Structure 1
């Protein structure tokens, strides 16, 4: 049920279906208003005046156009999905299905069709629902404007730079969420006293880990919780998700922990920072492959990755232990160190850039930019990556002039 609710909420079923049903149900109070305040035969304003024959023709046209356009919208989305999977990255399909513009467009067109069909059925010789017809006309106008917005959104969806920027913004938010300051150290929470093991009820990827719920739960039971898994990990059924200090027979507390750690059959980018990084890397590595040979797309990915790492490099990352409002250590979650973050993002780009002096040179520019804003600990890591960059360039057998140019590109000292 947990996986199903997430799929329907974020996919092309939950939001469009809710909008369509909402607009369909709107038809019934509108028809009731028309039955209670009938104005047939009275002088009407120009925007309500309509004959019975014209009304039925208008409703028929709106319903036909809405369902036809809805089919076109889904066809366009399938084409975009195919292009994105082939040219950018297959895992972007999840992002497109969660796009609010796509969801609202499908829901508005489906709801307009159902609304017009319902009003058409209620229309007859004894009832010409003028107010309901006026609302159908407004829904049709709104659908046209939404279609225009949809076409604009789709045109941007197949633009690699725009998608890279969107993914980078999400990655930046995920990285910045790791910057919360805490005075607690790894030894402030004693895991030896936590005896209750909470096991996974199914196999799947950890997509969401609600720290606020777990922290509140630990405070409520005056205990501590140590989570054993991180977003992005694949967990087997029966594997330990967390250990806690409350009674193992407390089913309510156990259920709360399981609801805070969401498992899905496939990976998602809700809280999974590794997933967002790997999408950007997948786009960059595909661009650097001999079959594509699009170095400038890889350059854009490197720039956006650097932008997402700004605060992490300048301020550092928080520890694994979380405290409540009273400063008591209550929760421990697997963290990601700055070294892990830099290694995960920079090593694959550097290794794939061997022999590509354009990309190697730009990675040098990225390292310079990060070094200029880095703290003392981060500077040591960036220097190590600069040394690895020189070694990678040397392994590609460049001419000495190119190697010296790259070495001088770095504005910090590299040991030879």
Structure 2
């Protein structure tokens, strides 16, 4: 049930469909009120007074315009999808389908169409649902404003820098969630006592891990849970998902654990830090390819990745063990180390920038910035990446002055 709710709410089905059905059903009570109560008095105000023929014509116009505009909206979205897949990154299509502006626009237009048809059906010589007709007019006006907002949002969605900033904001939130100072040490978690093995019933990518539910469940049963997979991992059917302290026959508890580890056929970016990083890397690597040759887009991606690394570099990352409110270790999950994060982000950028002095120079600037805020462990890792940067630059056959310039660019000594 949780998986279905995530899929529908994050796509072009759940929110648009729910909004359209709500507006469609709204016609029923409003027409009933018009049929049973004289809510505006007699004579009617000028903005409600309307003849039967004019009312039917107005409702027909609104319905026709709404469904026509809805077709145009979906056509524009398909064009944007095509441009994004070809020029930015194919995996950005998931972000566009989750965009609330796109979802609300589709739902509002579809709902206005269904609402107008319903009121049109009720309008006749014996019934003038003036209030319902006025509501249809208001919905039409709101739809026009929403379409304007939709066009504005679409124009921004095909701007690479704007998309890079949005992805980076999500990545920053995901990474910052790993910076916690109150978690227990691995030594405090006794995994040897956990004997109940929970295996995957199907193959798929781990897209979400509900840690709060697992911690609460373990606390209620006074036990612990060791999860063996992390968001972004591809799990095979029969592979171990978790090891728990529950009884093997406690189907209810094991079912809660299964629901908390959500598997999907494709990757998603709900909890998957690696997925968000790889989207930014994909955009940067495409920009650095000879066919595109857009170094400034790669520079923007490097800047946004550095912004997401601020807290891990300066404060460090939490361990693998999670505790409950009482400080008792309840959950162990595979985590990312600071070295993993730096290697995952900086290695591909540095290797792709070989021979591109502009990008190599900017990576030096990024390393300098991170070094100034880094803790002792992070500084050692950054020095290692600085050494790799100089080696990569040297492998690209640069002129001596360029290599000397890059070496002097680094504010830290790579031999420390």
* TM-score of the superposed pair, with normalisation by structure 1: 0.98
Counterpart CA distance in 2 for 1:357 and 1:40 is: 74
CA displacement at 1:85 relative to structure 2: 0.1
Residues 341-382 of structure 1: CA deviation (Å, up to 9, x unaligned): 000000000000000000000000000000011111100000
Residues 245-286 of structure 1: CA deviation (Å, up to 9, x unaligned): 110100000000011000000000000000000000000000
Counterpart CA distance in 1 for 2:23 and 2:181 is: 46
**What is the match of residue 251 of structure 2?**
251
Q: Which moved more, 1:37-46 or 1:241-250?
A: 37-46
Tell me whether 1:11 sits opposite 2:5 in the alignment. no
**What is the match of residue 131 of structure 1?**
131
Q: Is the 8 A contact 1:21 1:111 kept in 2?
A: yes
Give the alignment of 1:133-212 within 5 angstroms: 133-212=133-212
Q: Is the 8 A contact 2:183 2:318 kept in 1?
A: no
Tell me whether 1:309 sits opposite 2:309 in the alignment. yes
**What is the match of residue 402 of structure 1?**
402
Secondary structure in 1 matching 2:186: coil
Counterpart CA distance in 2 for 1:30 and 1:325 is: 49
Q: Is the 8 A contact 1:156 1:162 kept in 2?
A: yes
Counterpart CA distance in 1 for 2:40 and 2:266 is: 57
Give the alignment of 1:312-327 within 5 angstroms: 312-327=312-327
Secondary structure in 2 matching 1:397: coil
CA gap 1:239/1:37 in 2 versus in 1, 3 angstroms? same
Counterpart CA distance in 2 for 1:257 and 1:152 is: 43
Counterpart CA distance in 1 for 2:12 and 2:299 is: 33
**What is the match of residue 221 of structure 2?**
221
Runs of 5+ in structure 2 lacking a partner? Answer: none
Between Structure 1 and Structure 2, how many residues are aligned? 416
Counterpart CA distance in 1 for 2:130 and 2:79 is: 40
Q: Is the 8 A contact 1:182 1:319 kept in 2?
A: no
CA displacement at 1:40 relative to structure 2: 9.7
**What is the match of residue 266 of structure 2?**
266
Q: Is the 8 A contact 2:228 2:334 kept in 1?
A: yes
Counterpart CA distance in 2 for 1:38 and 1:120 is: 19
**What is the match of residue 42 of structure 1?**
42
Q: Is the 8 A contact 2:246 2:254 kept in 1?
A: no
CA displacement at 1:184 relative to structure 2: 1.2
CA displacement at 1:414 relative to structure 2: 2.0
Counterpart CA distance in 2 for 1:15 and 1:224 is: 37
Secondary structure in 1 matching 2:112: helix
* TM-score of the superposed pair, with normalisation by structure 2: 0.98
Counterpart CA distance in 1 for 2:221 and 2:149 is: 50
CA displacement at 1:413 relative to structure 2: 0.7
Q: Is the 8 A contact 1:180 1:318 kept in 2?
A: yes
Computed over aligned residues only, the root mean square deviation of the Cα atoms, in angstroms, reads 1.2
Give the alignment of 1:52-63 within 5 angstroms: 52-63=52-63
Counterpart CA distance in 2 for 1:353 and 1:239 is: 38
CA displacement at 1:35 relative to structure 2: 0.5
Q: Is the 8 A contact 1:40 1:128 kept in 2?
A: no
Give the alignment of 1:346-385 within 5 angstroms: 346-385=346-385
Secondary structure in 2 matching 1:82: helix
Q: Is the 8 A contact 1:206 1:262 kept in 2?
A: yes
CA gap 1:229/1:53 in 2 versus in 1, 3 angstroms? same
CA gap 1:281/1:4 in 2 versus in 1, 3 angstroms? same
Runs of 5+ in structure 1 lacking a partner? Answer: none
